[in-house]
């Protein structure tokens, strides 16, 4: 019976990754360093609300697509802007929501080996990967994205592959902001990984 329950819990854990990772609503342990506790809570709280706000971008995407379908199918009057609006807002929401997804544990990971590790080993693996790969990569993308967005803004760049030709610098700025939010969330994840690596349990 206990083996069956373990299998059920494992399957539930795989399907409910967001719940398993907790969030700012889950109290942090008292034995966590006070500075780390404040840092993790503040960053996770920011990522939580930033993600909730970004999800509202789905609304204009849906409205634009519904309008386009009706105008095209029933009035033979396709719009020039619906496709560009949808791809721009989707790209912005994808990047701006990435930090929220990381905080909730929703990024894809090949964990068929990782899940069998002890919590301390998981913490050490995460800590190593965040410090050596994730943070350097995100900082590089932040630096490159800033130059990319600044150049687009200074030139008043518009989409060259569109008849509507919307300005694109807001999208590039949003992409850069999304990377910045990922860097912030990476700091929180490093603190959590350090705690797991030293205490043998996850703080959330």
Task: Give the residue-averaged pLDDT of 29-42.
Answer: 95
| pTM for this entry | 0.86
pLDDT digit string, tens, across residues 130-189 = 999 999 999 999 999 999 999 999 999 999 888 899 999 999 999 999 999 999 999 999
Q: Which helix (H) or strand (E) holds 175?
A: helix 169-199
3-state SS class at 160: coil
* Of 84, 62, 98, the residue nearest 171 (C-alpha): 84
Domain segments of the chain as ranges:
33-199
Helix axes 34-54, 169-199, angle to 10 degrees: 140
Residue 203's SS3 state is coil
User: Residue 190: its pLDDT value, please?
Assistant: 97
At residue 7 the predicted structure's pLDDT band, cuts being 50, 70 and 90, is very low
Backbone angles phi, psi at 97, to 5 degrees: -90, 0
User: Can you tell me the mean pLDDT for 193-199?
Assistant: 96
Q: Is the pLDDT of residue 115 over 90?
A: no
Percent of the chain with pLDDT over 70: 89
DSSP-assigned letters across all residues of 12-45: HHHH-HHHHH--TTSPPPTTS-HHHHHHHHHHHH
Let me know how long the chain is: 204
Q: What is the pLDDT of residue 5?
A: 45
């Amino acid at each position: 019976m206990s083996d069956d329950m373990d299998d059920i819990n494992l399957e539930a854990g795989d399907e409910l990754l967001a719940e398993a990772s907790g969030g700012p609503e889950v109290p942090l342990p008292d034995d966590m360093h006070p500075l780390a506790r404040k840092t993790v809570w503040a960053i996770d709280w920011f990522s939580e609300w930033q993600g909730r706000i970004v999800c509202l971008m789905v609304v204009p995407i849906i409205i634009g697509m519904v309008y386009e379908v009706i105008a095209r199918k029933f009035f033979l009057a396709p719009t020039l802007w619906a496709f560009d609006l949808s791809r721009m807002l989707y790209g912005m929401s994808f990047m701006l929501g990435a930090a929220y997804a990381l905080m909730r544990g929703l990024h894809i990971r090949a964990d068929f080996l990782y899940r069998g590790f002890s919590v301390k080993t998981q913490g050490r693996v995460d800590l190593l990967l965040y410090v050596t790969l994730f943070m350097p990569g995100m900082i590089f993308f932040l630096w490159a994205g800033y130059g990319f967005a600044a150049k687009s803004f200074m030139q008043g760049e518009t989409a060259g592959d569109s008849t509507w030709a919307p300005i694109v610098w807001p999208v590039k700025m949003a992409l850069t902001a999304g990377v910045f939010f990922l860097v912030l969330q990476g700091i929180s994840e490093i603190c959590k990984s350090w705690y797991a690596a030293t205490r043998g349990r996850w703080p959330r």
